[in-house]
Amino acid sequence: AKVEELKEKLQAENNYLKEEIHSEINNAEIVGQSDALKNTLNEVMQVAPTHTTVLIYGDSGTGKESMARAIHQHSLRKDAHLIKVNCGAIPESLVESELFGHVKGAFTSAVRDRIGHFELADKGTIFLDEIGELSLDVQVKLLRVLQEQEIQRVGSSKVIKVDVRIIAATNRDLKQMGEEGKFRMDLFYRLSVFPLTVPPLRERKSDIPLLIEKFLHTFSKRLGKPLRAVSRESMDLLMDYHWPGNIRELQNVIERSSILAKTDKVEIDDALVPVASKPVTTDRSDNSRAQPVDVIRVQAAGDKTEAQRQYTTLAENEKSYITALLNELNWVIGGKKGAAEILGIPASTLRSRMKKLGIERPG
């Protein structure tokens, strides 16, 4: 039985290491020199050498897993495993078994003993991503692990001691969830000993050129194409966008554009990144609020049939809206009450878009 248990553990470790190697290849390193990122990394370096539980906050795609990896790699547990668990990706009926393991016969499909993620992470670190997705029942058992450093496999009364550091991550407000009865407050306080916030890409836009350079280097090798840089107009477009999907969205945009690139200079497809990202207030006499360009583009084709609206291209709608706005403002591009201010973009970017769309002042 002991031999079988050791074989099971070894197989689980081998499978996990294969996934870890694949993850290392596909995950970008932490790249950037912005003050927002530096502040977060300073906190990472302060907490890493301790055994303290860390709760990482951040929007989807900001790189919370990369921060967890950095904490582990600079900790005293760096020679042991960092086990990653996406709590939102495991069916609720299997969460307890995945985390704590089970014994043969614990339920219908339990044909043999299984080692859970906590046992596999013994002497190392476990990263619980999307921890707000765990059910209240599982939260109770997780609280016990934090308090007692012990687990029980599903279907077994045997207590197993584990020495695991927990790093949790979420893009939700756990405190508010606790006040609403959706997350245990005692668990929240146990997890948030050292809260850490990863800044969204919109708050560290100065890092975008460095990230693009990193992604182009990666995709150049992967695709076997000499990708050197993005065009100036494309860079303006990327810098003006608000990036709701953060680094993951930027990586996807660069990857698709790299695939489509015909030269070493990558051009960003207009359809990938909108020219404006948020509504802005104008100073017009009616004090109306300008709508996002994406909404107005549809309205600009309002006199067409439904079929025509369906197939009108993004560029046509964009050109129509910008031209109408410029006509209304007597073709004032920059400065106060200019078209660039209303669109919420730099005047240089608007001029680049006008040139690309073929917009010229009449006469």
At which residue do the structure tokens 């990558």 appear? 266
Give the whole-angstrom CA distance, residue 222 versus residue 218.
Answer: 6
141: tokens are 């058992």
Percent of the chain with pLDDT over 90: 47
Give the whole-angstrom CA distance, residue 119 versus residue 191.
Answer: 19
pLDDT at residue 6, as a whole number: 63
Per-residue pLDDT tens digits for 127-174: 999 999 999 999 999 999 999 999 999 888 899 999 999 999 999 999
pLDDT at residue 7, as a whole number: 64
Give the residue among 296, 285, 283 at the shortest CA–CA distance from 325.
296
| Neighbour count for residue 93 (Cβ, 10 Å) | 9
Non-local (6+) Cβ contacts of 117 within 8 A are 83, 85, 98, 99, 126
353: tokens are 């878009």
72: tokens are 């582990």
Measure CA of the first residue to CA of the last residue in the chain; give whole Å.
Answer: 89
**CA distances for 242 relative to 82, 205, 269, 294, angstroms:** 32, 9, 16, 13
> Could you tell me the pLDDT band of residue 89, with boundaries at 50, 70 and 90?
confident
Question: Which H or E run contains 195?
Answer: strand 194-197
**Are residues 84 and 129 in contact, defined by beta-carbon separation less than 8 angstroms?**
yes
Non-local (6+) Cβ contacts of 286 within 8 A are none
Residue 35, Ramachandran bin (φ over 0: left; ψ between -120 and 50: alpha; else beta) = alpha
Give the whole-angstrom CA distance, residue 77 versus residue 49.
Answer: 9
Three-state DSSP state, 28 = coil
**Are residues 198 and 40 in contact, defined by beta-carbon separation less than 8 angstroms?**
yes
Half-sphere exposure of 291 (CA within 13 A, CB side): 9
φ/ψ (deg, to 5) at 181: 80, 15
Per-residue pLDDT tens digits for 199-223: 999 999 999 999 999 999 999 999 9
CA 160-165-169 angle, to 5 degrees, is 120
Per-residue pLDDT tens digits for 314-325: 667 778 888 888
Per-residue pLDDT tens digits for 6-20: 666 666 656 655 455
Give the whole-angstrom CA distance, residue 260 versus residue 194.
Answer: 44
Query: Has residue 300 got a pLDDT over 60?
Result: no
